[in-house]
Amino acid sequence: MRTDDFTKPSLPPTTTTRSHRRRHGDGDDDVQSPTFLSFCSVWLLSALLLLSALWRVIGSLCFAAAWVVAVLEVCYVVLGFQGSSSLLALVVVLFFASVSVFPAV
């Protein structure tokens, strides 16, 4: 029995024209150096993600502060202390502003 009976059939030759190498690369120059635009886009994306995280923290702090002030105002009213109407108005505005601006908190 001959050994070439068990070998794989030969594949047809591939195209290695200059235009093919230019379109698909020959493997050596596939890694491109980063451009200024890609560098800026990475920094912009990082800055936006950081700003988004800070925005959520600021939103949750405003939301918590509105609840604390609202509870204090209710305690003053329930316990008989004189609550100022301007503080109550500020609490209501702050509460609804925090709910509408930061709905996902």
Per-residue pLDDT reduced to its tens digit, 9-67: 565 555 555 555 555 555 555 555 556 666 666 777 777 777 777 777 777 777 777 67
In a domain, 9, yes or no: no
In a domain, 70, yes or no: yes
pLDDT value, residue 80 = 62
Distance of CA 30 to the CA centre of its chain: 29
Instruction: Specify which of 4-8, 17-21, 59-63, 75-79 reaches the highest per-range mean pLDDT.
Output: 59-63
In a domain, 11, yes or no: no
Question: In Å, what is the CA distance from 71 to each residue of 5, 18, 66, 83?
Answer: 88, 76, 9, 12
In a domain, 23, yes or no: no
In the predicted model, what is the mean pLDDT of residues 98-104? 59
In a domain, 76, yes or no: yes
- Confidence class for position 95, pLDDT limits 50, 70, 90: low
Residue 86's domain comprises: 60-105
In a domain, 7, yes or no: no
Nearest to 54 by CA among 62, 20, 94: 62
Is the separation of the CB atoms in 66 and 93 below 8 Å?
Answer: no
pLDDT value, residue 43 = 75
In a domain, 52, yes or no: no
Is the separation of the CB atoms in 94 and 62 below 8 Å?
Answer: yes
Q: In total, how many domains does the chain have?
A: 1
In a domain, 87, yes or no: yes
Q: What is the pTM of this model?
A: 0.35
